[in-house]
Amino acid sequence: MVVDHLSNCEMYYVFGDRFAKAFEFLKTHDIRTMEPGRHDIDGDDVFILVQEYTSKTIDNCGLESHRVYADVHYVAEGFEYLGYASRSRCREIVPYDPKPDASFYEKECQYILLQKDDIAIVFPQDAHMPQKRALVGVPVRKACIKVRLA
């Protein structure tokens, strides 16, 4: 997993053209004014899910991982905790389903605070729990860019 500020995103172009497209999109589009939902950047290879929600209690969050896509999380407004655990240390509770490209795990992880203009890149080996609140729920406007790895 990588956690950084959007201003440093060009460092991660080395991950490949699809990641470069994802970060160029974030640099050139205002996520705060985009309609929530899916927007294609490069078809099914790179697409963005614009989300608005109130950060949630741990009971309403899931620790998940993916196999086909990496996620680029970007916080446009608000803040949230992102849970993280190495998938190899997790106990799976919902087996992998290729349709949503997700497996789910017991909620044992550590947390990183993501604030406005922070990014987090999670790969298949990274179990992650987005949308977790701090002491109280706050409104969050966020983008999750799905980047196909294969």
Residue by residue, pLDDT tens for the chain (150 residues) are: 999 999 999 999 999 999 999 999 999 999 999 999 999 999 999 999 999 999 999 999 999 999 999 999 999 999 999 999 999 999 999 999 999 999 999 999 999 999 999 999 999 999 999 999 999 999 999 999 999 998
Tokens of 120: 């987090």
Q: For residue 1, which amino acid is it?
A: M
Q: Could you state, in order of their start, the residue ranges of all structural domains in the chain?
A: 2-148
In this structure, the dihedral spanned by the alpha carbons of residues 109, 119, 2 and 50, taken in order and rounded to 10 degrees, is 70
Q: For residue 142, which amino acid is it?
A: K
Class of domain 2-148 as given by CATH: mainly beta
Please state whether the predicted TM-score (pTM) of the whole model is above 0.85: yes
